[in-house]
Amino acid sequence: MSKLGYAWIGFLLIVVMLGIYGIITIKFIGVEESPIPWNLLIVAYVFLAIASTGLCVISVAGNVYRLRGYKVVAERAAFLAIITMLCAYIPLLVHIGHVGRMYHFVTSPNLYSSMWWMGFLYTLYLLFEAAEFWFLIRFNVVKLSQEATGIKRTIYRVISLGSRDLSEESLKRDAKFARLMGFIALFAALSAHFTLGTIFARLESRALWYGSFMPFHFILSAIRLGIATILLTTIVSYWITKKEMKMEIKEFFTGHLRRLFAFLIAFSLIYYAWLISQSVLHKETYFFWHLLIAGPYARDFWLFQIVIGKIIPLAILLHPSAGRSLRGLFTASLLFIVGSFVLRYQWIVVAQTLPLMALREGLITYTPSVPEILVVSGTFALLALIYTIGIRLLPLEKWYVVTKAVK
């Protein structure tokens, strides 16, 4: 590994450490009462859960439905889906007051609560997604374990769960199981994600969230964010491993995926325009949109959500040369990810700024506290760290090559 590589890992470790410090502060030392119930931690959770669902969809499109192009990123997407979901749980659990009482989810479930269903479905999703990933990489991990020596060998042995089978039948069986697991994971992911949308969408009192289109739009957001993440991470990992990107991946990225991404961004712009125009009919909803488009949140809304998060990426993607270069795709997806985070932040925070029962006027103001920021950045750093290690250790692309050879 290069010096830069070590510096990068060192940097991530420091941010993770700071995150742990943030967790300790929130959990054991105690912090100021947050003026809104769902703060930055929940924003990060929702954001990561959205990304994970999108990555699952991409992985399944390649692995289960054998869509051309998607196949080459299926393993990477599955791996990312698992680690993002695992990391998503960190801010969520930090936010929950009594993690120790969470066994009540099993002992006294409220089947009428979207929150309960979300917990249940995401757990299911994680299990099946992990199973899918394992079947996808098992063959290559076994191979690697035979080639490797020392500690690496042990790690591969553990990952392969003791399996040593390298026969052609086992490869076929793997493919079969990977598809089945992926298929179930997809349904779990979509229903979990729909339920996550419903958590917000069914709250009549929060006009910005309320509405039956919201859960659907959540799924579209997931696919968008999934595409952005897979573009970003794949390109970056080719850059840092200093390898030439395979032609197939490059074609897929600059062709189909670019067009789909551009289409989805354009669609979200139209959806926004539609939402805002609809809100005029409804006083409460309009109130919130007004805060966003012309009120105190307007600057961040226009700058981050619209210009950085949508217009610039769209322009890059549609540009004849920039859209076909990896640099262009990288920039577009990075900006889009930044924009989506701000979107999720504003969407969750602004809806809670209206005091629901008060003769007094005035909005609640919220700025994230330092421990919250530390925990969230620590979570993202941990994610990057696991990914950095993952791309060095796991066969995230060889599968495709091997199957082709076998066929």
Residue 82 to residue 49: CA distance in whole angstroms: 10
Count Cβ atoms within 10 A of the Cβ of residue 6 and give its class: 0-12 exposed, 13-18 middle, 19 or more buried. Answer: exposed
Which span (74-82, 95-103, 131-139, 256-264) binds another protein, by CB under 8 A?
A: 95-103
For residue 285, the minimal CB distance to another protein (Å) is 11
x/- mask, another protein, residues 347-386, rule CB under 8 A, reads -----x--xxxxxx--------------------------
For residue 348, the minimal CB distance to another protein (Å) is 9
For residue 19, the minimal CB distance to another protein (Å) is 20
Q: Is 215 in the site for another protein (CB under 8 A)?
A: yes
Nearest 5 degrees, angle CA 387-CA 217-CA 76?
A: 20
What are 296's two structure tokens? 């105190």
What are 75's two structure tokens? 């393993």
Q: Is 405 in the site for another protein (CB under 8 A)?
A: no
Residue in the structure block whose two tokens are 């992926």 = 182
Whichever of 172 and 392 has its CB closer to another protein, that residue is: 172
Footprint (CB under 8 A) of another protein, residues 2-41: 30-34, 37-38
Q: Is 402 in the site for another protein (CB under 8 A)?
A: no
Amino acid at the residue 210:
Y
Whichever of 32 and 244 has its CB closer to another protein, that residue is: 32
Q: Is 201 in the site for another protein (CB under 8 A)?
A: yes
DSSP 209-263: T-STTHHHHHHHHHHHHHHHHHHHHHHHHHHHHT-PPPHHHHHHIIIIIHHHHHH
The 10 Å CB-count burial string (b at 16+, else e) for 41-77 is bbbbbbbbbbbbbbbbbbbbbbbbeeeebbbbbbbbb
Q: How far is CA 121 from CA 158, 165, 184, 191, in A?
A: 27, 32, 11, 7
x/- mask, another protein, residues 105-144, rule CB under 8 A, reads x--xxxxxxxxxx-x-------------------------
For residue 193, the minimal CB distance to another protein (Å) is 11
What are 188's two structure tokens? 């779990």
Contact set with another protein (CB under 8 A): 30-34, 37-38, 64-66, 95-99, 101-102, 104-105, 108-117, 119, 172, 175-176, 179, 183, 186-187, 191, 194-195, 198-199, 201-206, 211-213, 215-216, 283-284, 352, 355-360
